[in-house]
Amino acid sequence: MKISRELKIGAFGIVTLALFIISVNFIKGKDLFNRNRTFYAVYDATSGIQEAASVTVSGLEVGKVTDMRFLTKNSKKVLIELTISNKVFIPSKSVARITSLDLLGTKNIEIIFSDANTEALDGDTLVGGSQLSLQEEVNKQVAPIKLKAENLLSSLDTMVTVLQSVFNADTRKNITASFLSIRSTLSNLESTTYNLDTLVYGQKKRLERIMFNVESITENFRKNDENISNILTNFSLLSDTLAKANLAGTLKNVNIVLSRVEAITTKINNGEGTIGMLVNDQKLYDNLNKSASQLNALIEDMKLNPYRYVNISVFPPSKKRMIYTEPVK
C-alpha cells in the first residue's frame, strides 16, 4: 500500500507539533509522560523568581515553577504554580519559601516541611514565604551602621562648628597667654623648690636637733606613761565627782544670791534704805564725818584729861583745870 505524499506531510507536521509541545512543557518543567502533582503558593511579590525555576527539598530538586499569575484581577498578590515530579512526601501546611541560590541572585523555591502528619494533596495551596536576598541581607545589616555613621558625621560637623566658634582669634591668644603663664608658674615653682632644698640643706643640723628633741620628748612620754595614766585616772575621778555633785542646785543658789545682791545694789544706788541714804545723801555723809571727828576729839580729851570726867579725889581740881580746851591737832 503506497502512502500518499500528503499523508506523509500531515504525519510529519503532527509529530513536529507534538515534539514542540513536549519541548515547551519540558522547558517549563512539565513532564507529559509522568504523573505530576501540582501545588500553589501565594506571595506578596515574586522576589525575582522566574518560570522553570527549580523547586527543592533539602537541596534536592523535586519540581519546577510552571506558572505565575496574579491571584485575582484586582489583587497585587502573585499565585505561583509548582509542579512536583518527585513522589516525596510533602506534609500539609508546608512552606514554599523563595530563596537565593548564589550571589548572582538566582532564585528557586525551597519547600520546608511542617510538623503535620497529613500529606498535602494535589492542588493544595502551600504557605508562601520569602527569604531575603544577599543584597537585602547586606542592606539590612548595613542600614543601622549607615544611620549611625550619618549621625556621627552630623555630630562631628556640629562639633567642628562649635570648635571653630570657640577657638577664635581671641581664644587662641588667651590660650597662648595661659600656656605662657603656666610656663612662668612652673619656672617659679622650680625656683621655689631649689630655694627650699637649699634651706633644708642649710638647716639640716638644726632639723636634726629638733628631731632629736622630739624623740627625747617621746621617750620621756614613754617613760612617764604610768604617771600620765595616773593623772588621767585622777582627772576621770574628778570628773565623776563633779558629775555626781549637785552642780545644778549650787548654781541655782548662786544665781539666787547674785540676784539678791543685785537687788540690794540697785536699792543702794536708788538711795533706798540706810546704806542707800548714807551713800547717796552728801549732807548725811558730812554730818557723820563731823560727828566722827568730834567723837575722836572727845576720846582724845578723855585720854589727856580723864579727871574732867572721872573725879574720885578728896580735893576737887581747880576750875582752871576743869575748863575745856581744844586739843592740839
Cα dihedral 259, 260, 262, 263, rounded to 10, equals: 120
Q: Nearest-CA neighbor of 68 among 89, 86, 48, 94?
A: 48
Cα–Cα dist 132/151, whole Å: 27
For the chain, what's the residue count?
A: 329
Written as nine digits, the cell of 53 is 525555576
Total number of domains in the chain: 1
Written as nine digits, the cell of 160 is 567642628
Q: Nearest-CA neighbor of 60 among 40, 88, 38?
A: 88
The answer to whether residue 17 scores a pLDDT higher than 60 is: yes
The total of other beta-carbon atoms located within 10 Å of residue 304's CB is 11
Written as nine digits, the cell of 94 is 508546608
The answer to whether residue 94 scores a pLDDT higher than 90 is: yes
In a domain, residue 269? The reply is no
Written as nine digits, the cell of 283 is 549732807
Lowest model confidence (mean pLDDT) among 33-42, 103-112, 167-176, 256-265? 167-176
The answer to whether residue 278 scores a pLDDT higher than 90 is: no
In a domain, residue 47? The reply is yes
The answer to whether residue 236 scores a pLDDT higher than 90 is: no
Q: Give percent of the chain with pLDDT exceeding 70.
A: 80
The total of other beta-carbon atoms located within 10 Å of residue 27's CB is 11
| Segment 301-305 long-range contacts (CB within 8 Å, at least 24 positions apart) | 301/327
Contacting residues for 65 by C-beta, under 8 A, at least 6 apart: 29, 49, 50, 51, 52, 53, 54, 55, 80, 81, 82, 83, 109
In a domain, residue 22? The reply is no
Q: How confident is the model at residue 102 (pLDDT cuts 50, 70, 90)?
A: confident
Lowest model confidence (mean pLDDT) among 96-100, 190-194, 223-227, 266-270? 266-270
Q: How many CA atoms are closer than 13 Å to the CA of 185, on its beta-carbon side?
A: 6
CB 88 within 8 A of CB 119: no
Beta bridge partners of 68: 80
Q: Tell me which residue range forms the domain holding 97.
A: 34-131
Provide mean pLDDT across the span 132-139.
63
Q: Which pLDDT belongs to residue 322?
A: 55
Q: How confident is the model at residue 2 (pLDDT cuts 50, 70, 90)?
A: low
Written as nine digits, the cell of 312 is 574720885
In a domain, residue 81? The reply is yes
In a domain, residue 292? The reply is no
DSSP assignment of 102-124 equals: STT--EEEEEE--S-SSBPPTT-
> What does the mean pLDDT of the chain come to?
79
The total of other beta-carbon atoms located within 10 Å of residue 50's CB is 11
In a domain, residue 45? The reply is yes
Lowest model confidence (mean pLDDT) among 26-40, 56-70, 81-95, 284-298? 26-40
Q: Which pLDDT belongs to residue 106?
A: 81
- Read off the pLDDT of residues 292-320 as tens digits, 9 standing for 90 and up: 888 888 788 777 777 666 665 555 555 55
- Quick one: DSSP state of residue 245? S
Provide mean pLDDT across the span 79-93.
90
Cα–Cα dist 86/84, whole Å: 6
Q: How confident is the model at residue 134 (pLDDT cuts 50, 70, 90)?
A: low
Q: Which pLDDT belongs to residue 40?
A: 94
CB 82 within 8 A of CB 66: yes
More confident residue, 101 or 88: 88
Cα–Cα dist 67/82, whole Å: 7
| Segment 183-191 long-range contacts (CB within 8 Å, at least 24 positions apart) | none
Q: Which pLDDT belongs to residue 42?
A: 93
Three-class SS state of 8: helix
Cα–Cα dist 88/56, whole Å: 11
Q: Nearest-CA neighbor of 124 among 93, 155, 149, 151?
A: 93
In a domain, residue 87? The reply is yes
Q: Nearest-CA neighbor of 110 among 100, 122, 102, 98?
A: 98
In a domain, residue 119? The reply is yes
- Quick one: DSSP state of residue 307? G
